[in-house]
Amino acid sequence: MKKINFTLILVLIITLFGTSCEKPFNIFSVEDDIQFGLQFDQEIKTNGNFVILDEGQYQEAYNMLNQFTTKLLATGKVEYANKFHWKVRIIKDDATVNAFAVPGGYLYFYTGLIKTLDNEAQFVGVIAHEMAHVARRHSTSQLTKAYGIDLMLSMLIGNNKNEWVKIAAQLASGLAELKFSRNDEFEADKYAVIYTYPTEWDARGVAKFFEKMDSQSVTPVFLSTHPADKDRISAVNKEWNSLGGKQGEYFENRYIQFINALP
């Protein structure tokens, strides 16, 4: 019976998944996203390649970062705002301009990225972009594509429980399998505007972030395969205009306070 059921499930998913879809069928459930995020976060915290700033020691910085994410979640625009865990971590590495997110709402920001930016609007734009990858479930879709249907199915039916830990370890050591498609990046940009627009910040922050990186000829690690070209900046501005073109604040001085709270 198990064999028959497995075959039926596999046929169904292949039918839905297809071979020509731009966006692969996501066989993870929302609950699986949460489970995987827990495994991944544990790996990040124990992996020697990452130095996570202690929240107790850097309370002011974390308080400000949590305020940023809380205000975005409070807009009512972020999918799974009340279901995912939405935990933020700061990685101490001034030489790396990077940020990434994993399923279940875990967001990681390098001090090198934070210290490169000029104001809150730019940084909040990055936060909203990473939140969009989680809320639009791009991460698990990419994992399905990278590791294959068979392995993911076996994990879901409980035959390979250890694979959660193994894949988390592989991702923590390289993050290679979480390179998002260009379509995913454009969608994350769009929803970064949607998430930020109801807040006090200027919703073009993610475009201003791209412009900042371009002016310094810096390509952040997480944009290495999909650089911040003019098309992405234009798409952000188009989405902002479609929502009404409200001008928000940038908060340069408050952002300096945030940077000064870091080591």
pLDDT, tens digit, for every residue of 13-23? 333 333 334 44
**φ/ψ (deg, to 5) at 201:** -80, 155
pLDDT, tens digit, for every residue of 234-247? 999 999 999 999 99
**With 50 as the cut, is the pLDDT of residue 219 above it?**
yes
**With 70 as the cut, is the pLDDT of residue 231 above it?**
yes
The SS3 of residue 189 is helix
> Exposed e or buried b for every residue in 177-196, given b needs 16+ CB within 10 A?
ebebbeebbbbbbbbbbbbb
pLDDT, tens digit, for every residue of 25-62? 577 789 888 988 888 888 788 877 789 999 999 999 99
Domain chopping of the chain, boundaries? 22-260
What lies within 8 Å, CB to CB, of 252 at 6+ separation is 118, 119, 120
Read off the pLDDT band of 137 (50, 70, 90): very high
Half-sphere exposure in the Cβ direction for 116 (13 Å, CA)? 26
Record the pTM: 0.84
Closest CA to 135 of 104, 164, 109: 104
